[in-house]
């Protein structure tokens, strides 16, 4: 390997720094062997349909450090993610089912039923959230995340406090506000990471 071949296959520069090192992520050799970490990241971002998981020249999957994996940002418009986008929908759905239930059965009180449906849908929400919560570069993710963590902890504290002392009727709004922000923050963090 001579010094001449140690250039980035995309930008043709030979700079090699800790922040943006020249790497050889695939089986390609010769003039296309090296690429800047960031140049490769940019290229992969511009080719989301191919997902940038493998080299289009030699067809081998890129060998990348954990930090360089491309994050899959969920499509916000997917109908299955409607609950995650609008957690307040859990309240509406619980209410809607309750109306049907109450018209059939009158043994329990209205509020008992509301409470059980509401808890059910909140649990469903959390289940959906953790099903869709996929992060590849978790260390980088949490670093970004912690910048705004205090705001979320405040909401969670407020919601859980109200839940413990006054039940779910009172806690519903701050909890769903918290969950909605949490999901937005999750998507935002993933997008930020892909831009790094
Ligand atoms: Zn480059
Ligand atoms: Zn290659």
- Report d(CA 169, CA 173) in Å as an integer: 8
Domain boundary among 70, 96, 122: 70
Cα(96) to ligand 2 centroid in Å equals 55
Q: Are residues 84 and 53 part of one domain? A: no
Question: Regarding predicted confidence, which is higher, 177 or 50?
Answer: 177
Q: Which ligand is nearest to the CA of 60?
A: 2
**Closest Cα partner for 33 from 17, 9, 12, 16?**
9
Let me know whether 58 and 93 are in one domain.
no
Query: Residue 25 Cα, ligand 2 centroid: separation in angstroms?
Result: 7
Q: How far does residue 7's CA lie from ligand 1's centre (Å)?
A: 8
Q: Average of pLDDT values for 13-18?
A: 88
94 and 189 inside one domain: yes
Distance (Å) from CA 166 to ligand 2 centroid: 60
Residues 6+ apart with CB under 8 A from 157: none
Residue 108 shares a structural domain with residue 188: yes
Cα of 43 from ligand 1 centre, angstroms: 10
* The pLDDT value given to residue 48: 61
Residue-wise pLDDT tens digits, 132-165: 888 877 877 887 777 766 777 777 788 888 888 8
Whether the pLDDT of residue 28 is over 90: the answer is yes
Residue 2 binned pLDDT confidence (cut-offs 50, 70, 90):
very low
Give the ligand at the shortest distance from the Cα of 36.
Answer: 1
Domain limit, last residue, from 70, 93, 118:
70
Task: Give the model confidence (pLDDT) of 92-133 as tens digits.
Answer: 887 788 777 777 766 667 677 777 888 888 888 888 888 888
Positions of E strands within the chain: 22-23, 35-36
Q: Give residue 35 CA to ligand 1 midpoint distance, Å.
A: 6
Whether 56 and 96 map to the same domain: the answer is no
Instruction: Using the mean position of ligand 2's atoms as its centre, give its distance from the Cα of residue 19 in Å.
Output: 22
Q: Which domain holds residue 163?
A: 79-195
User: What span, in angstroms and rounded, lies between the C-alpha atoms of 4 and 31?
Assistant: 9
Report the C-alpha gap between 48 and 175 in whole angstroms.
Answer: 34
Q: Which residue has the tokens 């009172």?
A: 170
Cα 56 to ligand 1 centroid, rounded to whole Å: 17
Side-chain half-sphere CA neighbours of 110 within 13 A: 5
CA of 174 to the centre of ligand 2 (A): 50
Cβ atoms of 183 and 87 closer than 8 Å: yes
Q: Is the pLDDT confidence value at 39 over 80?
A: yes
Overall number of domains in the chain: 2
pLDDT value at position 1?
45
CA 52 to chain centre: 19
> What average pLDDT is seen over the chain?
80
């Amino acid at each position: 390997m001579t010094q001449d071949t140690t250039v980035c296959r995309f930008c043709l520069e030979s700079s090699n720094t800790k922040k943006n090192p020249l790497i050889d992520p695939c089986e390609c050799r010769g003039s296309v062997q090296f690429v800047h970490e960031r140049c490769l990241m940019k290229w992969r971002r511009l080719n989301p349909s191919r997902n940038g998981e493998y080299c289009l020249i030699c067809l081998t999957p890129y060998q990348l450090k954990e930090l360089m994996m491309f994050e899959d940002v969920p499509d916000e418009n997917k109908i299955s993610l409607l609950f995650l986008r609008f957690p307040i929908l859990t309240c509406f759905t619980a209410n809607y089912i309750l109306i049907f239930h109450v018209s059939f059965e009158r043994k329990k009180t209205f509020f008992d039923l509301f409470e059980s449906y509401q808890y059910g849908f909140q649990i469903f929400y959390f289940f959906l959230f953790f099903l869709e919560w996929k992060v590849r570069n978790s260390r980088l993710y949490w670093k970004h995340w912690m910048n705004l963590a205090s705001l979320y902890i405040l909401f969670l504290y407020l919601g859980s406090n109200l839940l413990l002392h006054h039940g779910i009727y009172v806690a519903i709004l701050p909890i769903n506000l918290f969950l909605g922000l949490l999901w937005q923050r999750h998507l935002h963090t993933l997008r930020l990471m892909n831009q790094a």
